[in-house]
């Protein structure tokens, strides 16, 4: 029997350790560390470096990678079970060496990078000695990469990049950016763009402003999504990452893993919010009875549990299919499905938790307004929900054939006629008794 919902005891031990470690050592850091990506923050380094060492000693470092790159090569199912624990705390991915966007960036460097690129960019990235940024979205549009206008033109042994990028997360902390630009405007649309590795301190990389999310304060200047103008940025021709004109292929390789990892962490995040909702429901009274006795509150708990469990199973099955087929193309429908389901489940549960906490729920003394906003983040980063739904629908419909008759193939009169024909002899024999 191949279906199995149990974790093997040896790995369960690791998960139990991760669970305690995240709760005891990492969850408190969300109150101490401004950004786990800021390698210039001495407090961050003093606390996070020793924790990373413990993770490495336990052989749990960079579990998204295979042994050739210093990870244990666990595969996606084990990673999903781990990531749902790590999703509970903002700094946890960094402590375990699985933080976005460095994970996706390291995957494409491992896949497409030359040995020099791997030495210069990948190796220090995997050791978290540096952090990276993925710079693709442009101010005039992110969901449709065909409207991108940033270009690179060749000048001798160099490429010269000009244009603007928007919402390039962590650019301010990064040592290098992976930038998608038009190199071959005369090619068909999906073969016009290429990826470049651009050291962030290259002259002409101008961060115009660092944009924050709605729940962050402009005055704190912690915005981490950069609006960047690339002005005559020169990089050597060796900094082309992957094939010229192959930017879309590189982007797809990167995003497949990134999307499912976001979903795994969201599964854990949602579980944490759900726990808060349940605790409040059985603790707070109104009109002489607990909130948990109110049927509409019970409905919120039941709906949340169902959505959370369905989502978790979809994430785990998708992870299993990635391991099974080792080919992201074969699981694009599943990954898009998970990506499309994620913001809704997250938002519904965060909203219900907020509501059950009443005025406390909307206040800054509970995390729910931030969580609701984060659910929108999950519905935008790596492509909007609508685009993923379109992918799901297209791929689902690929498996169907049209019925060329006026009435559908499952039209009841047709089926009845076929059934009567199939059993005509039996019916004939029993004609008298019927
Ligand atoms: C927190 C966060 C971090 C991010 N980090 C990065 C990063 O590091 N690097 C990077 O390059 N980008 C990053 N992005 C940008 C992200 O990839 C884009 O926001 C996303 O691709 C959508 O692009 P857009 O914001 O320009 O929206 P638009 O392209 O303007 O789309 C706006 C809305 O239009 C609708 N829409 C769009 N297309 C369709 C369609 N085909 N069918 C139906 N409706 C549609 C959707 O509702 C969509 O939300 C990040 C975004 C967020 C929110």
- 260-274 pLDDT tens trace: 889 999 999 999 999
Ligand 1 atom having least distance to the Cα of 133: 8
Task: Confirm or reject: Cβ of 145 under 6 Å from ligand 1.
Answer: no
Cα separation, 45 vs 49, whole angstroms:
5
* 330-369 pLDDT, tens digit each: 999 999 999 999 999 999 999 999 999 999 999 999 999 9
Residue 144's nearest CA partner among 417, 415, 387 is 387
Cα separation, 173 vs 322, whole angstroms:
32
Task: Confirm or reject: Cβ of 143 under 6 Å from ligand 1.
Answer: yes
Cα separation, 121 vs 132, whole angstroms:
9
Task: Confirm or reject: Cβ of 79 under 6 Å from ligand 1.
Answer: no
Task: Confirm or reject: Cβ of 254 under 6 Å from ligand 1.
Answer: no
Quickly state the pLDDT bin for 434 (edges 50, 70, 90): low
Q: What percent of the chain has pLDDT over 70?
A: 100
| Among protein residues, the one whose CA lies closest to atom 17 of ligand 1 | 381
Task: Confirm or reject: Cβ of 265 under 6 Å from ligand 1.
Answer: no
pLDDT the model gives residue 364:
96
Ligand 1 centroid–CA 377 distance in Å is 9
| Among protein residues, the one whose CA lies closest to atom 5 of ligand 1 | 169
Task: Confirm or reject: Cβ of 227 under 6 Å from ligand 1.
Answer: no
* 145-177 pLDDT, tens digit each: 999 999 999 999 999 999 999 999 999 999 999
* 105-117 pLDDT, tens digit each: 998 999 999 999 9
Question: What is the biggest distance separating any 2 CA atoms in the chain, rounded to whole angstroms?
Answer: 95
Task: Confirm or reject: Cβ of 37 under 6 Å from ligand 1.
Answer: no
The pairing of beta strand 132-135 with beta strand 176-182: parallel
- Mean pLDDT, the chain, rounded, equals 95
Ligand 1 atom having least distance to the Cα of 382: 17
pLDDT the model gives residue 432:
73
């Amino acid at each position: 029997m191949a279906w199995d919902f149990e974790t093997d005891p040896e790995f369960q031990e690791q998960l139990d350790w991760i669970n305690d470690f995240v709760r005891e050592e990492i969850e408190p850091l969300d109150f101490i560390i401004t950004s786990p990506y800021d390698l210039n923050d001495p407090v961050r380094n003093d606390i996070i470096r020793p924790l990373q060492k413990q993770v490495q000693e336990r052989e749990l470092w960079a579990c998204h990678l295979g042994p050739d790159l210093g990870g244990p090569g666990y595969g996606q199912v084990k990673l999903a079970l781990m990531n749902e624990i790590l999703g509970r705390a903002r700094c946890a991915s960094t402590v375990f060496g699985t933080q976005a966007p460095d994970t996706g960036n390291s995957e494409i460097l491992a896949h497409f990078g030359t040995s020099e690129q791997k030495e210069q960019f990948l190796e220090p990235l995997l050791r978290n000695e540096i952090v990276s940024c993925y710079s693709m979205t442009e101010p005039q549009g992110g969901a449709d990469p065909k409207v991108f206008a940033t270009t690179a033109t060749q000048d001798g042994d160099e490429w010269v990049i000009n244009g603007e990028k928007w919402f390039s997360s962590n650019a301010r902390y990064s040592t290098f950016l992976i930038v998608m630009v038009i190199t071959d405007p005369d090619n068909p649309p999906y073969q016009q763009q290429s990826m470049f590795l651009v050291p962030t301190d290259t002259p002409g990389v101008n961060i115009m402003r660092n944009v924050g999310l709605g729940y962050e304060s402009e005055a704190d200047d912690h915005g981490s999504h950069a609006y960047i103008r690339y002005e005559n940025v020169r990089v050597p021709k060796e900094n082309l990452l992957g094939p010229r004109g192959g930017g879309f292929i590189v982007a797809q390789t990167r995003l497949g893993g990134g999307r499912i990892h976001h979903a795994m962490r969201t599964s854990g995040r949602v579980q944490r919010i759900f726990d808060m909702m349940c605790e409040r429901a059985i603790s707070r009274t109104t009109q002489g009875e607990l909130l948990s006795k109110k049927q509409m509150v019970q409905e919120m708990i039941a709906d949340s549990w169902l959505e959370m469990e369905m989502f978790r199973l979809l994430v785990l099955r998708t992870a299993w299919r990635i391991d099974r087929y080792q080919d992201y193309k074969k699981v694009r429908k599943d990954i898009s499905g998970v990506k499309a389901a994620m913001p809704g489940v997250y938002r519904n549960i965060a909203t219900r938790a907020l509501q059950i906490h009443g005025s406390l729920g909307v206040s800054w003394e509970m995390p729910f307004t931030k969580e609701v906003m984060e659910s929108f983040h999950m519905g935008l980063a790596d492509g909007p929900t609508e685009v993923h739904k379109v992918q799901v629908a297209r791929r689902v419909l690929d498996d169907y054939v049209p019925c060329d008759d006026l009435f559908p193939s499952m039209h009841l009169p047709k089926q009845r006629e076929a059934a009567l024909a199939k059993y005509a002899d039996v019916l004939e024999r029993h004609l008298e008794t019927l």
